Homo-oligomer: A and B are copies of this chain.
Amino acid sequence: MRERMVVIGGDAAGMSAASQARRLKSPDELEIIAFERGHFTSYSACGIPYWVSGDVVERDELIARTPEEHRARAIDLRMRTEVTEIDVAGGRVRARDLESGAEEWTAYDKLVIATGARPDRPPLPGMDAPGVHGVQTLDDGQALLDTLERTEGRRAVVVGAGYIGVEMAEALMKRGYEVTVVNRGQEPMATLDPDMGRLVHEAMTGLGIAMVDDAEVTKVLTDADGRARAVATDDAEYPADVVVLGMGVRPETALARAARLPLGEYGGLLTDLAMRVRGHDDIWAGGDCVEVLDLVSGRERHIALGTHANKHGQVIGANVGGGYATFPGVVGTAVSKVCDLEIARTGLREKDARAVGLQYVTVTVESTSRAGYYPGAAPMTVKMLAERRTGRLLGVQIVGREGAAKRVDIAAVALTAGMTVEQMTALDLGYAPPFSPVWDPVLIAARKASVAVRVAGD
């Protein structure tokens, strides 16, 4: 009997699931219908800042696979078609053609929810004014670029100083803007501890970006034409010819909520290890709309990241296609850069550890990316958290220049393996003068952390 797989959402998770299922099952065995409300499929939202900056010239470079390419693989992809309801009991979804407005029900045997995330945009006055832009979708990116083309002024305000915010600050600076970043946190990059965020603040200031921390935006002020002209906080106004919102995202789960599917603390869908929605044998979910297990804390988290979405899609596609795969969870790795400043983190911050009852020691070391005598050796700061008593690695944060970001992968694997910092001191990491000091910065941190664990005692 031919089954039907229905996919809601045509980006990384949804289309990876569809593609993987198609690899395992022929069109005679499995019909695949995918609904996408936007204009694009399978694109790299993470690449948008680099398109805005001009590093990536053509929008289409960000598209991994076009609708036509998906269709050529026997996936019935319906663009500009929005699913408006999931009827779990009836095993069907209702979808609206956004051009014609026509709606129809489509039955499914297997449903994949990959509705992604939506920007976390507070309902403040002026937030929807012309000149205020999110950068969540390719459509958003195009709208921002259109504004930048039309705008003569060179003052940009970025609201938010997480990954999107700092990357957009670089992008706008590269386009010749005077950039102000307004951030409600104590320091930029709230995914780091404040002491490491401080290093990012200092480096961004050094790059000529005006950093305003501890500042809550109250409204966007507009001019006589209704266009954004400034961003206001309780204390001040920051003139802006363009405003970019980079405040993070939340799971887009309105449909799932209406269908009474299980949601977690952050509003994301809850799944089992096979990415099946809990309690629902025929419904899977993946990508930015789900919560994932944090292997270090044992808690669910929401992390919107293309690399996870792709993995989820693979796992879902394998399972829907009759294979077997699981997504065991994450350790919370993330890397970013602002010009030549590299920022990386994995595992728990101090406050994450405290929140789950873990006691810890913390050490911070300064080292270099290469042997000190080798040309281009750049400073690098590594912070490491280890559990008190057991010495288990809990987290690593790195701020530096070349070679800082991907070094965090060492810690990501060690966290996954449950290593102690003492065990890490013996890791056989690549050493040659152009690539590392004789003691890699991560090893230096591990050595210091293992001493700190012993000194802390019982």
Interface assignment of A429: CB less than 8 Å from any CB of chain B: yes
Could you mark each residue 259-293 of chain A with 1 if its beta carbon is under 8 Å from any beta carbon of chain B, else 0? 00000000000000000000000000000000000
CB pair B431–A56 under 8 Å, yes or no, is: no
* A438, B428: Cα distance in complex, Å: 26
How many residues from A make CB contacts under 8 Å with B? 67
* A429, B336: Cα distance in complex, Å: 12
- Give the contacting residue for A332; candidates B44, B307, B374, B428; CB below 8 A: B428
Q: Would you give the shortest CB distance from A200 to chain B, in whole angstroms? A: 15
Interface assignment of A407: CB less than 8 Å from any CB of chain B: yes
* A337, B370: Cα distance in complex, Å: 13
Interface assignment of A181: CB less than 8 Å from any CB of chain B: no
* A371, B49: Cα distance in complex, Å: 13
CB pair B436–A406 under 8 Å, yes or no, is: yes
- Which chain B positions have C-beta within 8 A of A337? 432, 434-435
Could you mark each residue 415-457 of chain A with 1 if its beta carbon is under 8 Å from any beta carbon of chain B, else 0? 0110100010111111111111011100000010000000000
- Give the contacting residue for A435; candidates B61, B335, B410; CB below 8 A: B335
CB pair A416–B427 under 8 Å, yes or no, is: yes
CB pair B371–A44 under 8 Å, yes or no, is: yes
Binds B, one of A67-75, A76-84, A109-117, A323-331: A323-331
- Which chain B positions have C-beta within 8 A of A414? 413, 417
* A305, B428: Cα distance in complex, Å: 11
* A228, B267: Cα distance in complex, Å: 76
By beta carbon, the residue of chain B nearest A326 is B426
CB pair B405–A428 under 8 Å, yes or no, is: no
CB pair A55–B375 under 8 Å, yes or no, is: yes
Knowing A44-B438, A374-B56, the reply to whether A412 touches B433 (Cβ < 8 A) is no
A interface, CB within 8 angstroms of B? 12, 44, 46-47, 50, 55-56, 61-62, 163, 305-308, 310-311, 314, 326-337, 342, 344, 346, 371-375, 403, 405-410, 412-414, 416-417, 419, 423, 425-436, 438-440, 447
- List 12 interface pairs A-B (beta carbons < 8 Å), by A numbering: A12-B438, A47-B373, A47-B374, A163-B432, A346-B428, A407-B409, A409-B427, A412-B429, A412-B430, A414-B417, A416-B426, A416-B428
8 nearest CB pairs, A to B? A417-B417, A335-B430, A307-B431, A61-B373, A413-B413, A333-B428, A330-B428, A331-B428
Known: A408-B430, A416-B426. 19 other contacts (CB 8 A): A12-B438, A46-B371, A47-B373, A47-B374, A50-B434, A55-B374, A307-B429, A307-B431, A328-B426, A333-B429, A334-B430, A344-B430, A346-B430, A406-B407, A409-B410, A413-B413, A413-B414, A413-B417, A413-B419
